[in-house]
């Protein structure tokens, strides 16, 4: 395992890329409503990213399962789709949820973030899933301090979600990030405190809880990209890219614009 520690200058370049992702997700959020298709959301994202001098890193990303490269600029995972959902011409419906995962390359550095949006009014049960998943993300971030271990992050996420009866997906995890979208170390959403690589100043990682309403078992759809829950129950996904430096955790991506628009 080779973990690349970033300088202060490199962290600022990563901040710019991640704030671009946050702005892109906010633009997408403005358009989310019943009747809109995820393919339309993808077009908004692609245009916004390129107009602002960045490149959508997901487009053309090689398929680890041996299928076609990823054809879109964002992943749009609806309801029981956990991750890597392909944008389609199927309109979103009142009460749906859609996780939008976005990555950009700006000035040679990567940004990566995900937010699960409500489509119109959603049920109280699903709203609680979203609330808990977002809380778990921040519980994990709080553990990412110099001297701690990667297992402390996963343990915080797992305990918060499983205590409320939710499932924690194990097959997909967070990751290091920098000049490559996926770097070491892997950052699971489960684990034991005190285990795993030590967290050091200069590390940049993406923490991304993928939490299910029911059983955490998943399967790969026929398109060789979209991952769904086996029991058909909804899943939520939130992600921030963070840097550990100056003795603290620094969240490089941002939900501020999204959350302001949601009010």
CATH class, domain 8-262, is: alpha beta
**What residue ranges do the domains of the chain occupy?**
8-262
With 90 as the cut, is the pLDDT of residue 1 above it?
Answer: no
The Cα 69–Cα 196 span in angstroms is 32
Confidence band of 225 (pLDDT split at 50, 70, 90): very high
The neighbouring-strand residues paired with 210 are: 237
List the structure tokens of 99: 């996780």
Provide φ and ψ at 242, rounded to 5°. -125, 160
Angle at the Cα of 174 from the Cα atoms of 198 and 232, rounded to 5 degrees: 140
Mean pLDDT across 112-120: 98
Q: How far is CA 256 from CA 19, 113, 127, 236, in A?
A: 10, 13, 19, 19
What average pLDDT does this structure show over 19-24?
98
Average pLDDT for 64-91? 95
Q: Are 219 and 83 contacting, i.e. CB atoms less than 8 angstroms apart? A: no
Nearest by Cα to 133 from 194, 70, 83: 83
What number is the average pLDDT over the span 194-198?
95
Q: What is the pLDDT of residue 19?
A: 98
pTM of the model: 0.97
């Amino acid at each position: 395992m080779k973990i690349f520690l970033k300088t202060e200058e490199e962290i600022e370049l990563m901040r710019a890329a991640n704030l671009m992702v946050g702005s892109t997700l906010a633009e997408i959020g403005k358009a989310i409503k019943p009747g809109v298709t995820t393919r339309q959301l993808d077009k908004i994202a692609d245009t916004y990213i390129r107009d602002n001098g960045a490149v959508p890193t997901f487009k053309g990303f090689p398929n680890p399962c041996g299928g076609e490269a990823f054809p879109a600029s964002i992943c749009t995972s609806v309801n029981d789709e956990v991750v890597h959902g392909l944008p389609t011409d199927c309109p979103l419906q009142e009460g749906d949820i859609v996780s939008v995962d976005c990555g950009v390359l700006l000035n040679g550095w990567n940004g990566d973030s995900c937010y699960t949006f409500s489509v119109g009014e959603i049920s109280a049960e699903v709203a609680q899933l979203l609330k808990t998943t977002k809380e778990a993300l921040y519980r994990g971030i709080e553990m990412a301090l110099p001297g701690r271990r990667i297992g402390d992050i996963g343990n915080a996420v797992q305990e918060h979600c499983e205590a409320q009866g939710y499932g924690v997906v194990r097959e997909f995890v967070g990751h290091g990030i920098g000049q490559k979208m996926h770097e070491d170390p892997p950052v699971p959403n489960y684990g034991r405190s005190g285990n795993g690589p030590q967290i050091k100043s200069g590390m940049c990682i993406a923490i991304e809880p993928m939490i299910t309403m029911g059983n955490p078992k998943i399967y790969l759809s026929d398109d060789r990209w979209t991952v769904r829950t086996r029991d058909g129950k909804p899943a939520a996904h939130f992600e921030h890219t963070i840097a550990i430096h100056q003795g603290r955790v620094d969240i490089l991506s941002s939900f501020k614009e999204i959350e302001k628009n949601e009010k």
